[in-house]
């Protein structure tokens, strides 16, 4: 999430200071203070970089920015982005959008990067090779606790092990490499995609079980209807009626609904930004805040059809949904009609976006949901669910 959105959404600087101070007290047993201050600043935020770092940042810590701001696309674009990052890393306090004083100075050194995210803040300690994460003050800890419990209960090679944890924080090793969304080597990118598919299928194989199909879809529908009512009032969404009309599509396909289908543990937000390829080419899946039980098709559909990007629902609804099918004994591809797969994934995705919107503070998220729902509605209107 970029800094401008956080500045619009919340008391960014107040939450930043209180969360940083709480993390160091809870995780590092150190009393610190962080205040905005132009003079004697020892942390800065540069335009477009959206993270705090020392003006004399070490070469090791610079790796954070070269990794996060690596970019796919043309060679010229990649060169331009790297040149910009290089310039920002080597101009000290010059061009800083915001300046901060962090005390004590020894807790900063030259190796600390503080990266605010959507619901949490990450603390990259490049001297020790450890990154900490803490939920932002004032935010619900539901998603944080969900991730914490998932990672404590499941252990796979594609999961990064936590080192230490508390009620609102944890630490883990710093990874070298790039998010898959920023991997420029095409062969490595395709390997990362394949590894991610295999990872969620492995998780599904280990956790899948059959459930009553009608009861499952009815539960999803009831949850969405309930959230629509709450979102009308709290988030002022404009698309509640459109959401409810999409649920009625079930009437046109329920005759082909099987008695049961498979559900399993799911990542929930399997996009290339949540897949990491390390320096040795190993693929790691991270950001398990939305882990939970869903259909065995959901993660594969979100990743294969890039459903987190605008205008991709049309592609999915036009397809035969083959990439969303399980490819092993858990869910044979000829068992469930494509229309059922698409409709189930649609309900699960609506619920994902609604729960995300409702968990955010104040009235934030309503416009984002409206844009998402209108895109989905237009795709369904154009090609239907068949």
Q: Assess whether 108 and 199 both reside in one domain.
A: no
Q: Assess whether 187 and 133 both reside in one domain.
A: no
Q: Assess whether 158 and 190 both reside in one domain.
A: no
CA-closest candidate to residue 136, choices 275, 274, 10: 10
Q: Assess whether 190 and 149 both reside in one domain.
A: no
> Which of 154, 174, 194 is where one domain is finished?
174
pLDDT at position 243 over 90: yes
Backbone angles phi, psi at 137, to 5 degrees: -55, 140
pLDDT at position 142 over 50: yes
Looking up residue 357, the CATH number of its domain turns out to be 3.90.1200.10
> Which of 134, 151, 174 is where one domain is finished?
174
Mean pLDDT across the stretch 159-179? Answer: 94
Q: Assess whether 191 and 77 both reside in one domain.
A: no
User: How would residue 86 be classed by pLDDT, with cut points 50, 70 and 90?
Assistant: very high
Contact predicate 193/303, CB 8 Å: yes
Count of domains observed in the chain: 2
Q: Assess whether 239 and 98 both reside in one domain.
A: no
Task: Give the separation between CA 223 and CA 159, rounded to whole angstroms.
Answer: 30
Residue 110 burial (CB < 10 Å; 0-12/13-18/19+)?
middle
Q: Assess whether 10 and 154 both reside in one domain.
A: yes
> Which of 130, 155, 174 is where one domain is finished?
174
pLDDT in tens, 28-63: 999 999 999 988 999 999 999 999 999 999 999 999
Q: Which residues pair with 123 in a beta bridge?
A: 114, 132
Average pLDDT, the chain: 92
DSSP assigned state of 49: T
**pLDDT score recorded for residue 3:** 87
Q: Assess whether 163 and 259 both reside in one domain.
A: no
Mean pLDDT across the stretch 184-192? Answer: 93
User: How would residue 325 be classed by pLDDT, with cut points 50, 70 and 90?
Assistant: low
pLDDT in tens, 128-137: 999 999 999 9
Q: Assess whether 126 and 10 both reside in one domain.
A: yes
Q: Assess whether 66 and 187 both reside in one domain.
A: no
Chain centroid to Cα 7, Å, comes to 19
pLDDT in tens, 57-75: 999 999 999 988 877 777 8
Task: Give the separation between CA 323 and CA 305, rounded to whole angstroms.
Answer: 8
Q: Assess whether 62 and 194 both reside in one domain.
A: no
3-state secondary structure of 63: helix
Mean pLDDT across the stretch 340-363? Answer: 93
Q: Assess whether 281 and 136 both reside in one domain.
A: no
Q: For residue 33, give its domain range.
A: 3-174
pLDDT at position 333 over 90: no
Q: Give the whole-number percent of the chain exceeding pLDDT 70.
A: 97
């Amino acid at each position: 999430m970029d800094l401008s959105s956080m500045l619009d959404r919340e008391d960014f600087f107040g939450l930043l200071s209180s969360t940083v101070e709480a993390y160091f007290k809870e995780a590092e047993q150190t009393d610190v203070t962080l205040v905005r201050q132009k003079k004697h600043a020892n942390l800065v935020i540069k335009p477009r970089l959206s993270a705090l770092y020392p003006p004399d940042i070490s070469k090791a810590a610079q790796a954070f920015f070269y990794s996060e701001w690596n970019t796919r696309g043309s060679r010229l674009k990649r060169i331009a982005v790297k040149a910009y990052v290089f310039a920002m890393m080597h101009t000290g306090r010059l061009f800083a959008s915001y300046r901060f004083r962090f005390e004590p100075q020894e807790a900063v050194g030259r190796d600390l990067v503080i990266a605010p995210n959507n619901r949490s803040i990450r603390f990259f300690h490049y001297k020790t090779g450890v990154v900490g994460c803490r939920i932002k003050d004032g935010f619900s800890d539901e998603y944080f606790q969900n991730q914490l419990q998932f990672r404590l209960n499941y252990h796979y090679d594609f999961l990064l092990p936590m080192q230490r944890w508390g009620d609102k924080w944890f630490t883990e090793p710093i990874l070298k490499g790039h998010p898959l969304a920023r991997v420029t080597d095409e062969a490595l990118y395709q390997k990362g995609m394949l590894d991610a598919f295999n990872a969620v299928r492995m998780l599904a194989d280990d956790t899948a079980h059959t459930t009553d199909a009608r009861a499952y879809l009815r539960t999803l529908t009831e949850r969405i209807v309930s959230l629509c009512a709450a979102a009308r009032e709290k988030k002022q969404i404009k698309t509640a009626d459109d959401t409810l009309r999409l649920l009625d599509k079930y009437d046109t396909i329920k005759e082909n609904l099987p008695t049961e289908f498979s559900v399993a543990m799911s990542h929930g937000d399997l996009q290339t930004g949540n897949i990491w390829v390390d320096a040795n080419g190993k693929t790691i899946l991270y950001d398990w805040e939305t882990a939970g039980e869903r259909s065995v098709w959901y993660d594969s559909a979100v990743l294969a059809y890039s459903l987190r990007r605008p205008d991709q629902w049309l592609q999915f609804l036009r397809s035969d949904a083959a990439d969303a099918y399980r490819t092993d004994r858990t869910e044979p591809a000829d068992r469930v009609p494509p229309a059922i797969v698409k409709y189930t994934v649609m309900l699960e995705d609506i619920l994902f976006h609604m729960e995300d919107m409702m968990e955010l503070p104040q009235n934030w998220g309503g416009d984002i949901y409206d844009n998402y729902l209108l895109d989905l509605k237009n795709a369904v209107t154009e090609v239907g669910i068949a």
